[in-house]
């Protein structure tokens, strides 16, 4: 019984939150890696692009709520996803037309692209802050919990509860759906194959008649979907605040590089690697161990490897270690 | 002379802009802006050495700035004796444990061939060392943080004059750059940018959360100053006399004695803050001028030519027998050390150390915009970039407010669009900086004052 209790504690406080957080990171990391693979630059506007999409979801959620439109027990934000995605893709294509395409045609070095994306980051941040302001916003409605701790205790008779927030379940399910559709698209369809070909070798792809404009367009469309959905899921689970989204760019980059940049599947797993590492290393294992060992041996300290203040630092340290030992990432990406 | 006409014109415009702020807003604001422009200029000199001379992209400027700030606390604050007695020994032991760990790992790496056992050995040393560190550090840290937590709760510094901390900042930042350079310099440009940015985040989070070191997010206030304090100036006779002679004409127009006394004391208060700021301006200006002379000399020396050769064609330079790895590491340390000086200068200017305020937006990206806008590879350009971008960063909000009021003046005061725009005026600075960067990158990719030397 104690053993099951220990497992429940661990699942409740680490595994479920890490799965949800990892899914959000994974979507962002695939976005980064896709831009890197096809358009060949590190996009420093990642966090703010996610924030841009989420902003529309937040505003539309408020509007739908005001006219009484909703999904019952599901959050209204799910209804806004298609509209937010359309706005996001339009914005990305606009930016691409006026900013990135010039450097792409000129075949500028990646560093120049990175600096340009810093400029885009500034502009996007300004637009977001001017439209919605910098404050913290919650836009979750509908049922909050799928499984409450007390219900679980009554159901199983265990002394530890297991909670499953609806946002966590939605995050994991939506991520799995989106990611599987995306992988199916990249691997099985003709357009996806042409994208991979373009990413592998631009010149050969052009020779075999692949239209680069179409590839770029499709990339931004997929990127827009990933960025918006990832941003909305994060905002539902925690809350929407432009500054936090900007900061999220860093673990997302870490996930993309740890997974091997340019490799979408690696980025997907990289998101979970980062999330699990962050949460497992900063979790206090006192209660978990207390169930496993006899009472006399109960630990007095929190049994925490690092305090939660260092959450971000953990993921960055993992990145540094990976860069040191295996610069191409855990799952081989493009060579660095 | 014609060669320098661009530079002179650009700097004159900048000076006029700052004078205009002085005339229209206030001289105090103008001097604050000027001081920060000078600090930014030091940062851009550092970044320009790395990016302009050697083509190394360092997005970790925030980390080196923070370390420079930390140096001010570690060097100039008086030591907290009680804290040293409570837990100083543990911290010193920890320091030695780290040294022993590093030496052991180096020994293992040097004297054993690459094998499974060597990897196990290194892992064992690291894990054992961390466990040992934790067990010694925890009681010490708890004891230190318990010493009068509202005021101290940290070890304090060495109690030296504050100007020494600028050198200390350079050494701390250079030391970090050595470690970062060893780890990350082999990476390709955009990976280097990400890696340095993330390492800087790690450094800032350590400074933020290790309260025994510099109080962390509880901030250190009341740092020493290389300039006199306003309060002392206001009571010293020579300063009052100086202000009196300076404003003699204005004062003589006031007839009533008490009114004249009131006016004088108000003038003294205003003048004291300006005097202090002028002292800082002098100090900062001398740092900028010294750095400018040294970096200009370096740029035209054989060493500068070598760096440009490496930047423009690594393989050719390597074939000529230049040690690229070593040169890159050296210039990375040099540039970071200069950024460290700037960090120390900034904390000295503010008189307080707030680790929570170190954010990548303000301390990495804005500095990079300065370098790109000003002109990469050209020191005059980099400094000008520091001035222009900082000026825009500060003055964008008032200008935006003015423009919003102008364009919405036909709308009623309570119009929701107008109210919303006025409330969001501070964020127009991001827009101005972003559009400025994009425009410069597109139409003048080498910056306002481009690099003069070209290798054909």
The mean per-residue pLDDT over the stretch A131-144 comes to 88
Name the residue with higher pLDDT: A153 or B390. Answer: B390
| Sequence-distant (≥ 6) Cβ neighbours of residue B260 within 8 angstroms | B251, B254
Asked if residue A335 has pLDDT above 60, the reply is no
Interchain proximity A257–B194, CB inside 8 Å? yes
Whether the CB-CB separation of B125 and B105 falls below 8 Å is answered with yes
Q: Are the C-beta atoms of B187 and B195 separated by less than 8 Å?
A: yes
The Cα of A52 is separated from the nearest Cα of chain B by a number of Å equal to 15
- The full DSSP string for A284-336 is B-HHHHHHHS-GGG--SS--BSS-GGGHHHHHHHHHHHHHHH-TTTTTT-S--
Dihedral of alpha carbons A254, A255, A259, A264, sign: negative
Residue A194 CB: number of other CB atoms within 10 A?
Answer: 19
Give phi and psi for A138, each to the nearest 5: -110, 135
**Residue A331 above 80 pLDDT?**
no
CATH number of the CATH domain containing B418: 1.10.3470
d(CA B332, CA B318): 18
Out of B122, B152, B182, a domain closes at B152
- CA neighbor of A100 nearest in space, from A45, A50, A155, A139: A45
Supply the pLDDT for residue A118.
Answer: 93
Contact B198 A109 (CB under 8 A): no
Average pLDDT, stretch B168-175? 95
Q: How far apart are CA A227 and CA B30, in angstroms?
A: 42
User: What's chain A's average pLDDT?
Assistant: 89
Share of chain B above pLDDT 70, in %: 98
Euclidean distance between CA atoms B361 and B354, whole angstroms: 16
Q: Do B60 and B117 fall within a single domain?
A: no
Indicate whether B170 and B282 sit together in one domain: yes
Residue-number span of the structural domain to which B372 is assigned: 2-79+156-443
Q: Which chain A residues are Cβ-neighbours of B431 within 8 angstroms? A: 122-123, 126-127, 130
User: Does residue B336 sit in the same domain as residue B316?
Assistant: yes
Question: Which comes out higher in pLDDT, residue A50 or B300?
Answer: A50
Beta bridge partners of A284: A304
Question: Cβ separation of A324 and B445 shorter than 8 Å?
Answer: no
Q: Give yes or no: residues B168 and B293 share one domain.
A: yes
Residues B243 and B341 both lie in one domain: yes
For A2-325, give the CATH class: mainly alpha
CA-CA distance, A114 to A40, in Å (whole number)? 10
Residue B190 has its nearest CB partner, among A111, A120, A122, at A111
- The answer to whether residue A297 scores a pLDDT higher than 80 is no
Domain for residue B243, yes or no? Answer: yes
Measured between alpha carbons, how far is B415 from B27 in angstroms, rounded to an integer? Answer: 35
Question: Do B184 and B323 share a domain, yes or no?
Answer: yes
* A312 with B433: Cβ contact below 8 A: no
A271-284 pLDDT, tens per residue? 999 999 999 988 88
φ and ψ of B115, to 5 deg: -155, 175
Q: How far is CA B290 from CA B31, B45, B285, B308, in A?
A: 21, 11, 9, 22
Q: What would the two tokens of residue B107 be?
A: 């020994």
Q: Do A120 and B438 touch (CB under 8 A)?
A: yes
Q: Identify whether residues B205 and B314 lie together within a single domain.
A: yes
Of the ranges A74-78, A158-162, A324-328, B366-370, which is most confident?
Answer: B366-370
pLDDT range class, residue B245, cuts 50, 70, 90: confident
Helices B366-374, B379-407: crossing angle, 10 deg rounding: 110
User: Do B210 and B343 belong to one domain?
Assistant: yes
**Predicted pLDDT at A140:** 86
- Interchain contact, B202 vs A317, CB within 8 Å: yes
Among the ranges A218-232, B178-192, B404-418, which has the highest mean pLDDT value? A218-232
Calpha distance A192→A169 (Å, rounded): 29
Which residue, of B152, B179, B204, is where some domain finishes?
A: B152
| CB pair distance less than 8 Å for A316 and B202 | yes
Closest CA to B54 of B176, B181, B139: B181
- The fraction of chain B above a pLDDT of 90, given in percent, is 38
* B332: pLDDT strictly greater than 90: yes
**Quick one: B12 and B112 in the same domain?**
no
Torsion of CA A168, A173, A179, A181, to 10 degrees: -160
Pick B198's closest partner by Cβ from A111, A319, A336.
A319
Pair of tokens at residue B155? 């070890």
Task: Give the H/E segment covering residue B375.
Answer: none
Q: Is B342 among the domain residues?
A: yes
Higher model confidence: residue A328 or residue B304? B304
Given a cut of 50, whether residue B302 has pLDDT beyond it is yes
Q: How confident is the model over A10-61, as pLDDT tens digits?
A: 888 899 999 999 999 999 999 999 999 898 888 999 999 999 999 999 999 9
Neighbours of B320 (CB within 10 A): 11
Q: What is the mean pLDDT of residues B277-291?
A: 94
Query: Is the Cβ pair A336, B427 closer than 8 Å?
Result: no
Please give, rounded to a whole number of angstroms, the shortest distance from the CA of A151 to a CA of chain B: 38
Residues B323, B324, B325, B331, Cα dihedral to 10°: 110
Closest-approach residue (CA) in chain B for A119 = B434
- Interface A-B, measured as beta-carbon pairs within 8 A, has a size of 124
- Give the integer Cα–Cα distance in Å for B390 and A18: 41
Q: Find where tokens 């205009």 sit.
A: B20
Q: Specify if B165 maps to a domain.
A: yes
Contact A115 B368 (CB under 8 A): yes
ipTM of the complex, rounded to two decimals: 0.89
Pull the structure tokens for residue A56: 């529309």
Tens digits of residue pLDDT in A247-262: 999 999 999 988 888 8
SS3 state of residue A240: strand
Contact A35, A313 (CB under 8 A): no
Judged by average pLDDT, the poorest of A35-39, A168-172, B144-148, B400-404 is B144-148
Q: Is A335 exposed, middle or buried (0-12, 13-18, 19+ CB in 10 A)?
A: exposed
- Indicate the SS3 state at residue B79: coil
Question: Is residue B57 located within the same domain as residue B92?
Answer: no
pLDDT at B1: 55
Å from A169 to nearest chain B CA? 30
Among B119, B152, B185, which residue terminates a domain? B152
What's the pLDDT tens digit per position in A62-88? Answer: 999 999 888 878 888 899 999 999 999
Residue A321 near chain B (CB below 8 Å): no
Joined together, the tokens standing for residue B21 give 């702020």
Cα separation of the two ends of chain A: 50
Of A228, A54, A243, A56, give the one whose Cα is nearest residue A134. A243
Give yes or no for a contact between B162 and B76, defined as CB atoms under 8 angstroms apart.
yes
**What is the secondary structure of B12-43 as a DSSP string?**
HHHHHHHHHHHHHT-HHHHHHHHHHHHHHHHH
Which among A120, A246, A250 has CB closest to B201? A250
Distance CA A226, CA B76 (A): 50
Q: Do B368 and A102 touch (CB under 8 A)?
A: no
B455 pLDDT higher than 60: no
Helix axis angle for A212-237 and A242-258, nearest 10°, is: 120
DSSP-derived letter for residue A71 is B
Please give the average per-residue pLDDT across B228-252, as a whole number. Answer: 83
Residues 6+ apart with CB under 8 A from A189: none
Q: Could you give the CA distance from residue B55 to residue B377 in angstroms, rounded to a whole number?
A: 9
Average pLDDT, chain B: 88
Query: Which residues have CB under 8 Å from B390's CB, separation 6+?
Result: B33, B36, B37, B40, B370
The pTM assigned to this predicted structure is: 0.90
What pLDDT is recorded for position A272?
94
The confidence band for A152, taking pLDDT boundaries of 50, 70 and 90, is: confident
- Reported as a pLDDT band with limits 50, 70 and 90, residue A333 is low
**Using CA atoms, how far apart are residues A20 and A14, in angstroms rounded to an integer?**
10
User: Looking at the 3D structure of chain B, how many domains does it have?
Assistant: 2
Instruction: Say yes or no: B212 and B299 in one domain.
Output: yes
CA B40 vs CA A66, A140, B13: distances in Å = 48, 42, 18
Of A139-153, B171-185, B192-206, least confident by mean pLDDT is A139-153
Q: Does residue B109 form part of some domain? A: yes
Q: Return the structure tokens found at B356.
A: 């929570």
Q: Assess A254–B contact: CB distance below 8 Å, yes or no.
A: yes
Q: Which pLDDT value is given to residue B456?
A: 37
**Residue among B413, B361, B178 nearest A47 (CA):** B361
Q: Does A95 touch chain B (CB under 8 A)?
A: no
The string of DSSP codes covering A10-46 is: HIIIIIHHHHHHHHHHHHHHHHHHHIIIII-S--TTH
pLDDT at B257 over 90: no
Which of A4-13, A153-162, B47-56 has the lowest average pLDDT? A153-162
Q: B316 and B381 share a domain?
A: yes
The answer to the question of residue B456 being in a domain is no
């Amino acid at each position: 019984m104690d053993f099951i209790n220990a497992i429940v504690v661990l699942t409740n406080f680490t595994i479920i939150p890490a799965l949800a957080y990892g899914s959000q990171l994974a979507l962002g990391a695939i976005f980064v890696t896709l831009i890197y693979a096809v358009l060949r630059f590190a996009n420093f506007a990642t966090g703010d692009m996610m924030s841009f999409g989420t902003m529309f979801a937040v505003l539309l959620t408020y509007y739908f709520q005001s006219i009484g439109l909703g999904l019952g027990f599901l959050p209204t934000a799910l209804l806004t996803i298609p509209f937010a995605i359309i706005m996001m893709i339009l914005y990305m294509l606009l930016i691409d037309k006026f900013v990135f395409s010039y450097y792409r045609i000129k075949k500028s070095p990646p560093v120049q692209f990175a600096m340009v994306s810093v400029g885009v980051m500034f502009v996007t941040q300004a637009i977001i802050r001017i439209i919605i302001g910098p404050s913290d916003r919650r836009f979750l409605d509908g049922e909050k919990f799928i499984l409450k701790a007390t219900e679980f205790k009554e159901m199983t008779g265990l002394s530890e509860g297991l909670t499953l927030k609806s946002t966590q379940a939605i995050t994991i399910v939506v991520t799995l759906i989106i990611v599987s559709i995306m992988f199916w698209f990249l691997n099985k369809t003709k357009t996806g194959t042409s994208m991979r070909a373009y990413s592998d070798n631009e010149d050969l792809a052009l020779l075999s008649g692949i239209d680069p404009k179409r590839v770029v367009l499709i990339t931004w469309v997929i990127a827009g979907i990933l960025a918006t959905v990832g941003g909305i899921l994060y905002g539902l689970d925690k809350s929407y605040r432009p500054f936090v989204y900007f900061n999220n760019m860093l673990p997302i980059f870490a996930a993309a590089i740890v997974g091997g940049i340019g490799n979408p599947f690696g980025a997907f797993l990289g998101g979970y690697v980062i999330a699990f590492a962050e949460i497992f290393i900063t979790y206090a294992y006192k209660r978990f161990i207390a169930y496993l060992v006899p009472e006399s041996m109960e630990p007095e300290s929190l049994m925490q490897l690092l305090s939660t203040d260092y959450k971000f630092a953990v993921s960055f340290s993992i990145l540094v270690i990976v860069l040191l030992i295996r610069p191409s990432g855990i799952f081989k990406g493009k060579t660095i | 002379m014609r060669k320098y006409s661009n530079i002179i014109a650009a700097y004159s415009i900048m000076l006029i802009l700052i004078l205009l702020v002085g005339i229209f807003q206030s001289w105090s604001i103008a001097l604050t802006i000027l001081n920060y422009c000078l600090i930014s200029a030091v940062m851009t000199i550092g970044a320009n050495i790395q990016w302009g001379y050697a083509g190394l992209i360092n997005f970790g400027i925030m980390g080196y700035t923070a370390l420079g700030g930390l140096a001010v606390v570690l060097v100039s604050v008086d030591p907290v004796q009680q804290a040293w007695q409570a837990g100083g020994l543990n911290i010193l032991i920890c320091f030695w444990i780290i040294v022993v760990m590093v030496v052991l790992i180096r020994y293992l790496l040097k004297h054993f061939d690459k094998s499974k056992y060597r990897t196990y050995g290194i892992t064992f040393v690291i894990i054992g060392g961390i466990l040992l560190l934790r067990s010694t550090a925890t009681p010490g840290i708890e004891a230190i943080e318990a010493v009068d937590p509202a005021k101290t709760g940290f070890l304090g510094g060495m109690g030296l004059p504050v100007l020494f901390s600028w050198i200390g900042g350079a050494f701390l930042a250079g030391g970090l750059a050595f470690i970062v350079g060893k780890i990350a310099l082999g990476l390709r440009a955009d990976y280097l940018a990400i890696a340095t940015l993330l390492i800087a985040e790690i450094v800032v989070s350590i400074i933020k959360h290790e309260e025994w070191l510099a109080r962390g997010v509880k901030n250190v206030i009341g740092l020493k100053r290389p300039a006199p304090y306003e309060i002392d100036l206001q009571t010293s006779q020579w300063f009052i006399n100086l202000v009196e002679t300076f404003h003699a004409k204005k004062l003589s127009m006031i007839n009533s004695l008490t009114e004249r006394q009131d006016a004088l004391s108000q003038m003294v208060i205003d003048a004291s803050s300006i005097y202090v700021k002028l002292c800082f301006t002098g100090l900062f200006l001398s740092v900028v001028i010294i750095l400018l002379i040294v970096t200009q000399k370096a740029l035209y020396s054989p060493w500068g030519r070598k760096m440009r050769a490496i930047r423009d064609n690594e393989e050719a330079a390597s074939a000529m027998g230049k040690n690229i790895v070593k040169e890159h590491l050296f210039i990375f340390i040099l540039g970071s050390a200069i950024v460290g000086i700037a960090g120390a200068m900034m904390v000295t200017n503010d008189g307080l150390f707030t680790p929570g305020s170190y954010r990548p937006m303000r301390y990495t990206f804005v500095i990079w915009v300065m370098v790109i806008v000003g002109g990469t590879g050209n020191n005059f350009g980099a400094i000008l970039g520091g001035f222009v971008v900082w000026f825009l960063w500060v003055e964008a909000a008032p200008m935006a407010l003015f423009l919003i009021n102008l364009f919405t003046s036909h709308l009623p005061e309570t119009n929701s669009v107008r109210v919303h725009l006025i409330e969001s005026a501070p964020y127009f600075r991001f827009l101005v900086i972003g559009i400025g960067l994009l425009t410069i990158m597109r139409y003048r990719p080498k910056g306002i004052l481009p690099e003069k030397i070209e290798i054909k």
